[in-house]
Amino acid sequence: MPKKADKSSQEKNIQVGELPHKPHYEVRTASQSYSNIAAVLAGFAFAAVILVVQTTPPTSPESAVIYRYLATIAFLMAFIGCVVSGFVFATVTGEEILAPRSHTMALLGGMGFSISSNLVMFGLATLTKIFLSPDITSFVKVIFPIAMFLSPLFVAFSAVDPIIGFEKEPIKTKDLIQLFSFSFLPLIIALLVKYFGSEISANTISVFFKPVMVAAFIVILLSAASALSVSSFADIKFRLSLPISGIIVGIHSCVVAALILMI
C-alpha cells in the first residue's frame, strides 16, 4: 500500500498545467521575437565594428580618432549584450508554464537587452559626428535621446504584467508612481542637462566613457545572471514588488542616462 501511495504522489508531481490567469501579455511568445531581434542587432553591431575599423574618418584627426574609438567600443559592447540577451530571451521562451516568474525573468533580462540596444544607438550617433554633416548630427542629438528616454518602458512594464494577469487586487497608484519615478528620474535629469546645458567636448566624453562601459558590462552580466537564476531556483509564482522593480530599472536607467549625455 505505501508503494502505491508513493507512485500516486509521483504521478501528481509530474502533471503540468497553466496557472489560472486573465488573458493578457504572453511573454513567452514575445520573447521569441525579442531573441530574434537581439540576434539581428548583434549581427549589425559586429558588422559596424568591421566598418568603423576599416574606414578612415574624413574629419579632423583629433576628434575623429576619439569618436572612432567610442563607436567601436560601443558596438563591441552591444554585440556582447545582444548575444547574451538572445540566450536569456530563449530561456523565457522555454518556460513550460506561463507564470509570474516568466515576467520577472523578462524584466531582469530586459535590462541587458535595453542597454545593448541603446549602445547601438549611441554608436550610430557617434558615427554621425565623424561621417555626416553638422545638420544631420544636430538632428540625431535631438531625436536619439528621446528614443533612448523611452527605453525603460520596455523593461518597467514587465513588472506590471504579472499583477494584471495573475492577481485579483488592482495595482496601487503609489506603487506605479514609485515604479516609474525610480525608472525615469535619471533620464529626466539627463535630458534636461542635454538640452539646456553646454555641449560636452570629445576629450571630456573620453574620460567618462570607460567607467560607463564598465558599468554597462556589469549590468548586462547581472541582468543575464539574475534572469537565469530566477529561471533555475525561484518558485513559478515569484515576482518582484513594484518599488523594487523601479529601483532595479532605475539602475539600468543610470547607464542609459550616461549614454544620452555623451551623444
Specify which of 9-13, 86-90, 166-170, 199-203 reaches the highest per-range mean pLDDT: 86-90
Q: pLDDT band for position 14 (50/70/90)?
A: low
Q: Is residue 164 part of a domain?
A: yes
Q: Is residue 8 part of a domain?
A: no
pLDDT at 85 over 90: yes
Q: What is the pLDDT of residue 63?
A: 76
User: How many H helices and E strands in the chain?
Assistant: 9, 0
Q: pLDDT band for position 184 (50/70/90)?
A: very high
Q: Is residue 6 part of a domain?
A: no
Q: Is residue 30 part of a domain?
A: no
Q: pLDDT band for position 68 (50/70/90)?
A: confident
pLDDT at 7 over 70: no
Q: Which of 194, 213, 199, 61 is nearest to 130 (CA)?
A: 61
Instruction: Write out pLDDT tens, residues 123-145.
Output: 999 988 888 778 888 888 889 99
Write out the residue range of the structural domain in which residue 182 sits.
Answer: 39-262
Q: What does the pLDDT average to over 94-109?
A: 92
pLDDT at 15 over 70: no
Q: What is the pLDDT of residue 59?
A: 53
Q: Is residue 1 part of a domain?
A: no
> Is residue 123 classed as helix, strand or coil in its secondary structure?
helix
pLDDT at 53 over 80: no
Output the CA–CA distances (angstroms, integers) from residue 175 to 122, 133, 180, 235, in the order listed. Answer: 32, 45, 9, 23
Higher pLDDT, 137 or 91: 91
Q: How many domains does the chain have?
A: 1
Q: What is the dihedral of CA 93, 94, 100, 101, to 10 degrees?
A: -120
Q: What is the pLDDT of residue 19?
A: 80
What percentage of the chain has pLDDT greater than the value 90? 51
Q: pLDDT band for position 173 (50/70/90)?
A: confident
Q: Is residue 188 part of a domain?
A: yes
Measured CA to CA, the distance from residue 178 to residue 6 in angstroms comes to 48
Q: Is residue 100 part of a domain?
A: yes
Q: pLDDT band for position 13 (50/70/90)?
A: low
